[in-house]
Chain A
Amino acid sequence: MIALTLLLATAGFLTLALSMQRHRRDLGRQGKPPRAMRPVAFLLIGLSVFPAVADQGLAIGITSWGMALSVCAMAVAAWLTVRSSWR
């Protein structure tokens, strides 16, 4: 279940990056990002709390989720950095 949290959070941050003009190019996308992209990103990030809470309970689940957000955001930032240095 924690793996699902990590997956959803990473997908959320990737979508957030896609909603930013400067990072769209790093991810190989052209043009203006769709307006709905940012709410979808925050929705995915928000949804990722549920598997953690289901797996570890409310208190520990939310704490683990908070840590997972940091790690997933760092992973996306590292991926974007690698992509932008390749371009």
Chain B
Amino acid sequence: MKANFHLSMIWLHRWSGLIFGWALYVIALTGTVVVFSDEISVWMQPELPANTVAVEQALITAQTHLQRAAPVAEFWSITPSAHHGGVTIAWAGADSAGNDRGDNALFDAVTGAVVAARDSHGTEPLVDLHFRLHSGPVGMWIVASAGMVMLLGLVTGVIVHRRIFRDFFMFRIGKGQRSWLDAHNIAGVLTLPFQFVIAFTGLMIFPVLLMPGALQAGYGGDRAAYVSDWYLPTQREASGMSAPLAPLLPMLAAAEHQLGGRIEQIAVAHPGDAAAIVTFWRGTDDRLSMMADWAAFDGPSGRMLASQTRYPPGIETSGVMVGLHFAKFGGAWTRWLYFFSGLASTALIATGLLLWTVKRGPESGKGLVAALNLATIAGLPMAIAAYFAANRLLPVDLTERGEWEIRILFLSWAACLGWALMHNRWASWAGMMLGAAFLLGIATILGGTGPVTLSLALSAVALGTTGLLLIRGARA
């Protein structure tokens, strides 16, 4: 224990920040990028039909296809996209010839043709890095721990930063350690509400995982029983008697009226059976809560059976927490605000990590911490840039193309780590920044037009400028 409370808080802030700082940086940067996950995923599959179409059109296309391919399947799933002109159609069970199988494909919502888009996982690997560091359940625990440390760091940071209001806008350039501390303070103080919200809501996404005691006490650990207590779309067994499915369009109109918003997904259980049920799920892009309201209809008659638009207060609160973290609710403006706040969050963590080495003088700049700083702070942007460039450079018909994109992401990052361990100096920082700018430049040139390409170009300029400034700084 340190001599007084203030020193104890400084110690806690410094060491918790250092130990979890690299993980927090990865979480913050990938989280910032995937604010635009839908747009980036569409950019990574340029073969997708560009123009979005009405849900009605997608539903007509889907029902026509499914009536022909699998009229008596166990279920149909229809997901019209809000970001491109495709509709994802999946089904399982018997096909039209009576063979037991299933299918899952993306169709052009207007022409009904299968869309042959390049194999790409879009932002999936970045999302995976964000919430579990690409390490499965263990990674989720590390991310959850890092989230708790982030909250701890914010509280201790407020305590140790005594001149929080007097230095509100203060950033002194060219003063060595003082400048790094100013940058750390300003990134933290000006975005403090955002940091609290994003760290807290991040933890609230997995309440059952992080606080299993409540599930154990209330439901004996039975997760399905817990969920069905407050969210149970109507289900029933197939009757075995055939009956034609009523047209889906009138049901869609009734569902939209009942749920008050755009329908995001449609599922049909036992199509062609007298006990068929059609369920519509409402999208959540226009409100804070991420709870997906539903309405269920009797398949043969088209009569509404049940719907759910209200939840217990605790569940509704949880849905709002998740919505605040995912930032889908406020349109482009809000997501840009999240993006810039996310960049500030990333800068907060990066400057905190750099402060640790700057404070210990030139000798510490050659150690493991400095190498990990280089590999994480400059290496991850380069790896992400390599991922985007690979999306445009790999042959479209390459086997396991999507997997290769992910391999390039991690191989690039591993190469950055190897380089950082061997050649940890200012030139390496500049090299990685310029490398990331170069790779983003390739993605920009080959990326066609549109807002994502423009954003990549601006990122390339920003990283390139940083690299050049680092070279200038090293020479000075």
Residues facing A in B150-198 (CB within 8 A) are: 168-173, 186, 190-191, 193-194, 197
In Å, the complex CA distance between A70 and B330 comes to 16
Contact A63/B171 with A70-B194, A70-B344, A74-B344 known, Cβ cut-off 8 Å:
no
Main secondary structure of the interface of B (DSSP, over half): helix
Beta-carbon contact of B191 and A64 below 8 Å: no
Chain A residues positioned under 8 Å from B168 (CB to CB): 16, 20, 73
| Number of interchain pairs (Cβ within 8 Å) | 70
Beta-carbon contact of A17 and B169 below 8 Å: yes
Residues facing A in B454-469 (CB within 8 A) are: none
A residues near B (Cβ < 8 Å) are: 2, 13, 16-17, 20, 22-23, 56, 59-60, 63-64, 66-71, 73-74, 76-77, 80-81, 84-85
B225 within 8 Å of A (CB atoms): no
Beta-carbon contact of B334 and A67 below 8 Å: yes
In Å, the complex CA distance between A27 and B171 comes to 14
In Å, the complex CA distance between A56 and B168 comes to 29
Nearest 9 CB-CB pairings of A with B: A67-B337, A73-B190, A70-B191, A2-B333, A77-B169, A81-B171, A64-B334, A71-B340, A60-B330
In Å, the complex CA distance between A63 and B95 comes to 48
In Å, the complex CA distance between A22 and B170 comes to 9
Contact A74/B324 with A23-B169, A60-B329, A66-B194 known, Cβ cut-off 8 Å:
no
Beta-carbon contact of B344 and A67 below 8 Å: no
Return B377 CB to nearest CB of chain A, in Å: 19
B residues near A (Cβ < 8 Å) are: 168-173, 186, 190-191, 193-194, 197, 287-288, 320, 324, 329-331, 333-334, 337-338, 340-341, 344
Contact A60/B169 with A74-B191, A74-B344 known, Cβ cut-off 8 Å:
no
CB nearest neighbor in B for A16: B168
Beta-carbon contact of B334 and A63 below 8 Å: yes
Beta-carbon contact of A60 and B287 below 8 Å: yes
Return B4 CB to nearest CB of chain A, in Å: 29
Beta-carbon contact of A68 and B190 below 8 Å: no
24 A-B residue contacts at CB 8 Å? A16-B168, A22-B170, A23-B169, A56-B330, A63-B288, A63-B329, A63-B334, A66-B197, A67-B334, A67-B338, A67-B341, A68-B337, A70-B193, A70-B337, A70-B340, A70-B341, A70-B344, A73-B190, A74-B190, A76-B169, A77-B190, A80-B169, A80-B171, A81-B171
In Å, the complex CA distance between A85 and B170 comes to 12
